[in-house]
Amino acid sequence: MHFPAAPRDRIAIASYPFREFIIGRSDSAPSSQTKMALKNFPAHVAAKFDIHHIESWSEHFPSLEPSYLEDLRSAAGKVGVTFANIAADGESSLYSPEAEERDRASHFCRQWIDAAAALGSPSVRTNISVAQGARPDARRLTEHFKPIAEYAASRNIVVHLENDNPVSEDPFLLVELLDRVNSPWLRALPDFGNSLVALPAEEAYRGLDQMFVRSYGISHVKDTITQAGQTVRVDMARVFALALKYEYKGYFSMEWDTEGDPYEGTARLIATTMKYISQRD
């Protein structure tokens, strides 16, 4: 993948922070009438932020039918917007003791790899859900992710894994898994803030360091994160220094994830990101 080099062109806008404004799959008809459809989000982002790359969230897709994906790609293309990544969240776990659930999780990953290919997205972020009655184990997960990485390679799509769920997506667990699979098609997605609410600060930043070593196409930018009433600030200079240290070339996706106006928060994240990555150049 030849990623853009100009600082502003390296920025993407995630649809997740705008979930109160975009129709989700669980929305009822009345509530949907006041929200925008995902196919309108690319034009909205271009007009509001002058950014031309988006990271769409799976919950905002009303369909994965080829005709819908074609319409969505066309709507984005008409306003000069492309897909930097797709963030796909499923409920089934790849390390479940139940073979049927593991099969569902594997199918979910392949389904979104296909969607990424249809939309012209270079990558997809898939999650690792917690499994009832089992603990995450990198060795067990390796045997399930190897065929997913092979399928991703056949579609020319990179699969990213994010330090998100503190149990099943601990950064050090992901690092071990990535090293065991050892595929250029399975990479890390460093999220600036998620680990800071689950780990001591130094451990969280050490985990981010190891994630950036294994990163490729997408990272999630946050300057604060709020979970369970706890708000933690991110040392932005420190994290952007890690990206520079490991010569990260991919997109920085703005993922405002705390209380307040996501439009104001996203604008602030764009300004902060521009400051740091422009200094690099």
pLDDT digits (tens, 9 = 90+) for 207-229: 999 999 999 999 999 999 887 77
pLDDT exceeds 70 at position 281: no
pLDDT for the residue numbered 158: 98
pLDDT exceeds 70 at position 152: yes
C-beta of residue 169 within 8 angstroms of C-beta of residue 162: yes
Q: What is the identity of the amino acid at 272? A: T
- Distance (Å, whole) CA 263 – CA 191: 19
pLDDT exceeds 70 at position 60: yes
Return all residues near 254 (Cβ < 8 A) that are at least 6 apart. Answer: 11, 12, 13, 14, 17, 51, 221, 266, 269, 270, 273
Q: What is the identity of the amino acid at 240? A: F
DSSP, residue by residue, 222-270: -SEEEETTEEEE--HHHHHHHHHHTT--SEEEE--BSSS-HHHHHHHHH
- CA-based angle 46:47:51, to the nearest 5? 30
pLDDT for the residue numbered 28: 64
Q: What is the mean pLDDT of residues 6-30?
A: 90
Contacts 24+ apart (CB under 8 A), 229-232: 230/197, 231/258, 231/259, 232/193, 232/196, 232/197
Among the residue ranges 44-58, 116-130, 216-230, the one predicted with the least confidence is 216-230
The structural domains of the chain, ordered by start, are 7-280 (3.20.20.150)
Among the residue ranges 4-8, 50-54, 221-225, 257-261, the one predicted with the least confidence is 257-261
Region of 246 on the Ramachandran plot (φ > 0 left; ψ -120 to 50 alpha; else beta): alpha
Q: What percent of the chain has pLDDT over 70?
A: 98
Name residue 126's beta-bridge partners: 88
